[in-house]
Structure 1
Amino acid sequence: MDLELSSATLLALLLGSVRAAAWLIVCPPFQSRVIPGPLKALLAVALALPMVPKLTPEVPAAQVAPILVSAAEQAVVGVALGFITALFFAAVQAAGDLIDLFGGFALAFGFDPLAQTSTSVFGRFYNLIAVTLLFATEGHQMVLRGFLESYDTLPLTGTLSLSQLSELLTTGLDDMFVSALQMAGPLIAVLFLTDVALGLLNRVAPALNAFSLGFPAKIFLTLSIAGTAIAVLPRTLAGIVETAVKAVVSISGGG
């Protein structure tokens, strides 16, 4: 049995796979080096394959210049959609970094072989917990569904709205910092009160040199009550996933 595919079908699959591949390279949690490159390529084709019937009528002319321009446009669209999602998920890493900063762990940076960068202790710890919760609660399916909606709301012949993109980037930064403070705020407040108490103790009894106990005390408190910040992580992560999906759908032209 011979399977015949038209050039328009193959071109639609190619352009759809380019958008999906660019999105997978940037969007968490699929951008991790844990997922090999060949597997990401196959996943990109798998994501674009069900969209081929919708994309086939939108393909450009079968010429080199239009195909290259369209492929470049799909790569830009995929990167933009992935970056918007990654911006919201950066709140989890930011919450861990805030805890490291106020808890005395900021000096203990370690090399992350997956991200190929230096990262803080709690920052990486929170990131791993968030990825685990995302797959455990099937939140990754919502992220994938939000991206697949872009094929309907933003066809191959469509372009991103730069004004809406800039607005989402601005509001995304605000939401990222607010979410980070929601997760790390209780622990930061306790550590701040610890600094105040040590300062008062140093004023009352300077001979005790209370600030010499600052680092051990703050590290002990951080390790003791770090579960307070982790307890709010599932609820905050659910809100981040919902906000990220809505942002991706809205920037691609959906309601």
Structure 2
Amino acid sequence: MFAFSAAELISLVSGYMWVLFRIGSMVMTMPVIGTQLLPMRIRLYLAIMLTFMVAPYIPPVPQLDVLSLTSWLLIGEQILIGAAMGFLLQLLFQIHVLAGQIIAMQMGLGFASMNDPAMGISVAVVSQVFTMLVTLLFLAMNGHLVAIEVLAESFVTLPIGETLRVADFYTLVLRFSWVMAAALLIGLPAVTALLIVNLSFGVMMRAAPQLNVFSIGFPLTLCLGLFIIWVLLGNMVESYQLLLGEALIWLREMVGAG
């Protein structure tokens, strides 16, 4: 029968508990893995498995009383770090969701929405198409593996017990402007093309007022919008590679791994 002293038990629990909170918070918030597509139990098993794989290779963790106030503060710090890393990756997906919303509103599909199984909310159909596409690209480019690699490196560059660098996470707030700018750049060609189409209908109505713009313009705008989306998809991989690379670089910079 195995017998453990109180100090040995605290050391054993501390060596894995701090790691589990950081890994678990990122697994619960990162794209694809942290969505409703995976059951909560599977995500928990994945976090525990990653904890047992990473914990033996990280620097020594502080030996604290598990029920002390300092221990609870350290738990909150690890949750904040992991959730910030997962949230930064979520911004990458929200770029394309926002771009799809912009395009859908311009082409008259803003009212056509469907349930997003990953987030559990209703989004425009165009946004759902973009979300499925970037999800497949994220997995095909091993983005999830790179994110897990950066997470493992964060225990070396940002050890458990080290004072949290607020400046590193301040840059996360500045990424909201990046989301809006990138979404506008993705949707700008489609918005410009549809604006030209709407201006053309305006000229037609001015030249021939007897034409019914609603019966002619709406289906034509919808068809042209679908054609423009088809053209945009040809350049989607290159633009997504740039955005994914930029997001992963910022993820490394946030934890001091790059």
TM-score of the alignment, normalized to the shorter chain, above 0.5? yes
Say if 2:173 is the partner of 1:169.
yes
Amino acid at match of 2:62: V
Say if 2:135 is the partner of 1:122.
no
Q: Structure 1: how far apart are the matches of 2:245 and 2:164? A: 21
Say if 2:223 is the partner of 1:220.
yes
Q: Structure 1: how far apart are the matches of 2:126 and 2:246? A: 24
Cα drift, residue 78 of structure 1:
1.0
TM-score using structure 2 length: 0.89
Q: Structure 2: how far apart are the matches of 1:133 and 1:119? A: 20
Say if 2:103 is the partner of 1:68.
no
1:7-50 Cα distance to aligned partner (Å, 9 max, x none): 32432212111111111111112122111111111111222223
Amino acid at match of 1:197: S
Classify 1:147/1:243 alpha carbon distance in 2 versus 1 (closer, same or farther; 3 Å).
Answer: farther
Q: Which moved more, 1:26-35 or 1:62-71?
A: 62-71
Classify 1:147/1:228 alpha carbon distance in 2 versus 1 (closer, same or farther; 3 Å).
Answer: farther
Are the aligned partners of 1:97 and 1:122 in contact in 2 as well (CA < 8 Å)?
Answer: yes
| Match of residue 109, structure 2, among 87, 105, 109 | 105
Are the aligned partners of 1:198 and 1:211 in contact in 2 as well (CA < 8 Å)?
Answer: no
- Flag as ranges the 4+ runs of structure 1 deviating above 3 A: 4-7
Paired residue for 2:56?
A: 53
- What are the within-5 Å matches in structure 2 for residues 1-255 of structure 1? 6-7=8-9, 8-55=11-58, 57-65=60-68, 66-170=70-174, 172-255=175-258
**How many pairs are equivalent?**
254
Amino acid at match of 1:166: Y
Amino acid at match of 1:196: L
Q: Which moved more, 1:179-188 or 1:194-203?
A: 179-188
Amino acid at match of 1:137: M
Q: Percent identity?
A: 23
Cα drift, residue 157 of structure 1:
0.9
SS of 2:161's equivalent? coil
Q: Gaps (5+ residues) in structure 2?
A: none
Q: Structure 1: how far apart are the matches of 2:128 and 2:203? A: 34
TM-score using structure 1 length: 0.90
Are the aligned partners of 2:14 and 2:61 in contact in 1 as well (CA < 8 Å)?
Answer: no
Cα drift, residue 227 of structure 1:
1.6
1:194-214 Cα distance to aligned partner (Å, 9 max, x none): 011001111111111335422
Q: Structure 1: how far apart are the matches of 2:146 and 2:66? A: 36
Q: Structure 1: how far apart are the matches of 2:163 and 2:250? A: 16
Considering only aligned residues, what root-mean-square deviation do their CA atoms show, in Å? 2.4
SS of 1:91's equivalent? helix
Cα drift, residue 91 of structure 1:
0.8
Are the aligned partners of 2:14 and 2:66 in contact in 1 as well (CA < 8 Å)?
Answer: no
